[in-house]
Structure 1
Amino acid sequence: MPTASPRHGNDIPVGQDRIFDGLADKFANSLYATARGQIRLAVLDQLLSCSLPQDGAAALDVGGGLGQMSVWLAERGHDVTLAEPSAEMLARAQAEFGELPIRALKASIQALPELAPGPWPLVVCHAVLEWLAQPRQAVVTLKSLLAPGGRLSLMVFNRDALRFSNVVKGNLDKALEDRLSGTGQRQRLTPISPLTHADLERWCREEGLVIESVAGIRIFHDYLRERSPDEAQLATIIELEKRYCQTEPHWRLGRYLHYIIRHADSAGPEETF
């Protein structure tokens, strides 16, 4: 008789990626319909408007979820393909495309070298690596998708910020014992593989990828006592987040870390952050 696979919490086997079928409403309501989501999109808008090619380059949105970044890119003239492994999330994303010419592809990141090999001048991969059992291997895959000189917009969940947040909330033993990774339980959205800036620095160096910039996303909001600001307060918080997202030491405690990464097989400046 075959033995059951080891399990991570009550839901997913150890070593298995987290796919979000059944959680589209939770993502839409608990993230993007809140101040957290508004701040995330506002800061990304500022960062990407300054960093990404403006020539309508073809773009691959890896693990694009509900499609916010695909829509953002398409509205700015990019030829976008959204790849998402969750059928439910992909269907919700397609409902938001309207007349925008965005192609939808049901595919995991591991399948993309075969299904969407490119090479792509622009790859976007936001809040994906932290839900993978092997995030290091995903960096190899993302590099393989990039054209020489191409740019990768990468955003990951920050393990150091997660530790700090647990201390602020009084989860002292959990922080001290470094029990920070999520368990994969069905309704919990703590990532199974939160990452550090040191992780990304090392992996990019090993793969010959150049980090051109780094920023923190939600560097202040998630530590506030009042997490549901009114419209005027939210505008002020967004201004603070935009102003200090790339400033030492604040960016290091962003709930997410955002990187612009260049495929190093081209001439260009070294790391500039």
Structure 2
Amino acid sequence: MSDSAPLSPAGDRHFDGLADKFAGSLYGGPRGELRLALLDELLPRMLELDGQPLLDVGGGLGQLSAWFARRGHRVTLLEPAGDMLAQARQELAGLPVSFVQAPLQALPERAAGRWPLIACHAVLEWLSDPKAAFATLAENLAPGGQLSLMVFNRDALRFSNVVKGNLQKALEDRLEGTGKRQRLTPISPLCHEQIVAWSRESGLAIRSVAGIRVFHDYLRQPPSSEADWQRLVELERRYCQVDPHWRLGRYLLYTLVHETRSPEETPR
């Protein structure tokens, strides 16, 4: 993708041509290592897993699909970027994963069904209409089903800009990226209050929430030794679900459950 590459027709940021960038600078570095380490600990704690089929929406290079497939889940990976999907096919060869090249908006046509388990990690913030996308996820979740949702935290982005000295930008709340360059600033960073409101509107209940990279992204200098790295990892593990720390995680990780009661039966 060139610096002047347009967004998709829907106004979303897709990642055609950036598979190597994701594999190297993101997942191949400390940020990605920490993110995956925290997910490895949090997902079994936050989800009720019994080998049910999983739909991985916007699954990218397939790290999350691999995690579930190796634990006995049959996975369908939905991803719009062709080169991402091709690399995922190579990496996940031999695992019970099927692949569908399509954006989230095509979910009802390309991966129809009421899914008992859906994962959608780091996707909504790249869409022009994340609220409509959230509703699509909810509509395709089975009664009692679980949605593992991870979003880029707008409040953390504001705090990070202040730490970096971008004070006027923070005051003016100019936090969104344009989506037209290779820099990976999301076009629709989200806040916790939006997820709370959208969940209520869609009949989903928030079962649990955690912050991913609560401390790491605000460090003035990276850990200088393996011992300091392990101390940082322990701090992240210890406080990722502790208020107020989780609220400043670079990502917010949710478990949402499709309520089976009618609105009249739901306590107020």
Shorter chain as denominator, the TM-score bin is: over 0.9
Unpaired runs of 5+ in structure 1?
A: 1-8
**Is the aligned partner of 1:12 residue 2:41?**
no
1:231 to 211, 221, 226: 226
Note the C-alpha offset of 1:175.
Answer: 0.5
Residue 59 (structure 1) aligns with? 54
| Pair 1:91–1:228, CA change in 2 (3 A) | farther
- Provide the identity percentage: 62
SS in 2 for 1:12: coil
User: Once the 2 structures are TM-superposed, how far is the Cα of residue 70 of structure 1 from its aligned partner?
Assistant: 0.1
Secondary structure of the 1:222 match is helix
- Measure the CA separation in 2 of the matches of 1:197 and 1:128: 15
Q: Secondary structure at the match of 1:241?
A: helix
Alignment of 1:124-273 (within 5 A): 124-227=119-222, 229-265=224-260
Match of 1:81 among 36, 59, 76: 76
Residue 53 of structure 1 deviates from its aligned partner by: 2.9
Contact 2:73 2:96 in 1 (8 A): no
How many residues align? The count is: 261
8 Å CA contact 2:124–2:188 kept in 1: the answer is yes
Equivalent pair of 1:148/1:266 in contact (CA under 8 Å)? no
The alignment yields a C-alpha RMSD, in angstroms, of 1.8
Matched-pair contact (CA < 8 Å) for 1:127–1:155:
yes
Code of the aligned partner of 1:264: E
Offset of residue 98 of structure 1: 2.8
Residue pair 1:204, 1:210 contacting (<8 A) in 2 also: yes
Counterpart Cα distance in 2 of 1:110 and 1:216: 27
Q: Find the residue that maps to 2:206 and give its secondary structure.
A: strand
Which range moved further: 248-257 or 112-121? 112-121
Contact 2:214 2:245 in 1 (8 A): yes
Amino acid at match of 2:217: D
Tell me whether 105-114 or 124-133 shows the greater mean CA deviation: 105-114
Residues 230-239 or 37-46, more deviating: 230-239
Name 1:3's counterpart in structure 2. Answer: none
Q: State TM-score, norm by structure 1.
A: 0.91
